[in-house]
Structures are given as structure tokens and as C-alpha cells.
Structure 1
Amino acid sequence: MKRNSRLSLALHTLGHMAGDPAGVRTSADIAEHAGTNPVVVRRVLGKLREAGLLTSEKGHAGGWRLAREPHEITLADVYLALDESLVATGEQEVASSCSVENILQRKVASVLEDVERSLVERLAATTIAEVRETGPVKHG
């Protein structure tokens, strides 16, 4: 799943954290494992902390830790915490005075909003723990 790299990074990281919920992971370790920059990790995981999914501790023994049990964190929680949309939704300004184009834009926006709602509902049906339990987890 590389369509949205922030979502992919967040889910990948939480999936590994679910294997050791009490464990603490540093941004540097997560970044090395994910093949990205620690600053990117801190930005993404900071959003998860703001949403109450992670906690962070500074200092020598600090790092990131799950704030809730893996079975209490849904994929929708992660998706919504990142405050992004995989589906373009919302009203878009139409530069045209054409009534047909305006009607089409509103109709398409309505359909896309329904798709987004359905996506969130389906993501809410799966927890990080369930993803972990689906099969053997390969590191990498």
C-alpha cells in the first residue's frame, strides 16, 4: 500500500508496535526500518499522538509507544488522525457559468463524499490487532 505514504508509514509502524504494545521505539529506528527520514516519522507519528493513539517520551530512554491496546485502534482511527482523504471530496469551485457543469460537479462531489464515508466505515471494521493476527508478519 504505497498510494498514501503517510498512511502506509503509520499503519506499518502501528502494525509492528502491536506485536509488542508496551515497547518503545525511537523515530530513528522506525525511520531506518521504513526507509525514510526521522523527521517524516515524527510528523506522521505526531498526528497519531494528537489523536490519542500514541504517546511519546523524550530523553535517553524515550520514544513512541501505543497509547491504547492494539484491539482498540481501528484502521479508521489512523486514517482520520492523519486528516487526509484518499478520495477528493468537498465542493470544488467551478470557473464556468455553465449550469450543466455546475450540476455535474455537485453530483460527483456527492458521490465522492459517499465513497469517503464508506471507506471510513470499512476501515473502522478492522483493528491493528486483527491485521497482526491475519498471518505471519514479515519484518521489512
Structure 2
Amino acid sequence: MKRDSRLSGVLHVLLHMAEVGTPMTSDALAKMMKTNPVVIRRVLAGLREHQLVCSEKGHGGGWKLCRELDTITLHDIYQALDEPTLLAMGNRTESPGCLVEEAVNNALNNAFAEAEALLLARFRTVTLAQLSADFHQRMQARGFSGTHEHSLFPADDAADAE
């Protein structure tokens, strides 16, 4: 089963937007994320509805954050993505005709609910400012200074460097 990586991808995009500090076009963001600009526009439009990003038209326009990093939590972004399924596991059947399977479903449903509640509670405490600070510590530890660009990193190490 393929994992839903939208939250991770959106966090990546938002942190880059924060680093640049000026509006970024869908084309530039798509190139950086190796995807289609339509995908970027669709995702960012959802974030705009939740007032996390803003868009400016015309020359010098594009997408930018419209809130401070310390006011945006992972939970805010999760909600803006229409609360995708958190756990990939589930019950074999939702309406079992077997009492054993009912007991299994009950135990699993309780465990899944507790796990999701813990994860969502954690999402509420993590801000983009914390992720940005972690990124800057990693940059400093690797000896980089100044602004961040994807091109600072060799292609083979780009995923590890971010």
C-alpha cells in the first residue's frame, strides 16, 4: 500500500517558502518538488482556504506564507489537507459475522483510536518554526551558511540534507 506523503511534501514546500521569504511561483515550487505545477496549485489552494498561504498575482507574484511560522502547527496543515487517514492498517471486515472477529475489531479499533489521538495531540504541539529551527541547526552542523537552495546539496545527498 502506498503511503500518503502529502503532509511531508507540504511541510517541505512551506519551509522552502519561508526560507525564500518572497512569493514563489507554482512552477518554481513544482520544479523543486519534481512534480507538476497543477499539483502544487491544487494543494496550495486548499491551504489558502485555511489562511495558511496567500497568493499574489502579476509580476513578482506567487505563493507565500500568510501567517508566522510559530502560529502554524502540523495539525493546521493536516486539517487543510482534509485530514488524510493517519494509519494504513485496518480491520479485515467492518461488519463481521464472527464473534472472534468482532473481538479483534474492537481491540484494534480501540488501539487505532488511541494512537490517532496521540498523534494528533503531537501535531498540535509542533510548529513550522520548530521545523525551521531544526533545519537551520542541520545547515549549521554541515557547515552551510547563508540562504538555502536545493542546489547547495549534491543530487545524491539532497534527500538526506533536508
Q: TM-score range by the shorter chain?
A: 0.7 to 0.9
Aligned partners of 2:27 and 2:37 also within 8 Å: yes
1:55 positional shift: 1.2
Aligned CA-pair RMSD: 2.5
- Please, what TM-score do these two structures have when normalized by structure 1? 0.83
Q: Tell me the matched-pair count.
A: 138
1:36 positional shift: 0.9
Q: Given the alignment of the two structures, is residue 94 of structure 1 paired with residue 104 of structure 2, yes or no? A: no
- 1:6 aligned residue: 6
Aligned partners of 2:72 and 2:128 also within 8 Å: yes
Tell me: higher relative CO, structure 1 or 2? Use CA pairs within 8 A at least 6 residues apart. 1
- 1:139 aligned residue: 149
Post-superposition, which runs of at least 4 consecutive aligned residues in structure 1 deviate over 6 A?
89-92
| Structure 2 Cα separation of the partners of residues 100 and 56 of structure 1 | 54
- 1:110 aligned residue: 110
Quick one: which amino acid aligns to residue 48 of structure 2?
Answer: R
1:94 positional shift: 2.7
Q: What fraction of aligned residue pairs are identical, expressed as a percent?
A: 42
1:19 is paired with a residue of what secondary structure? Answer: helix
| Deviation readout 1:100-131 (Å, 9 max, x if unpaired) | 21232132122112111111111222211111
- Please, what TM-score do these two structures have when normalized by structure 2? 0.73
Structure 1, unaligned stretches of length 5 or more?
A: none
Aligned partners of 1:76 and 1:123 also within 8 Å: yes
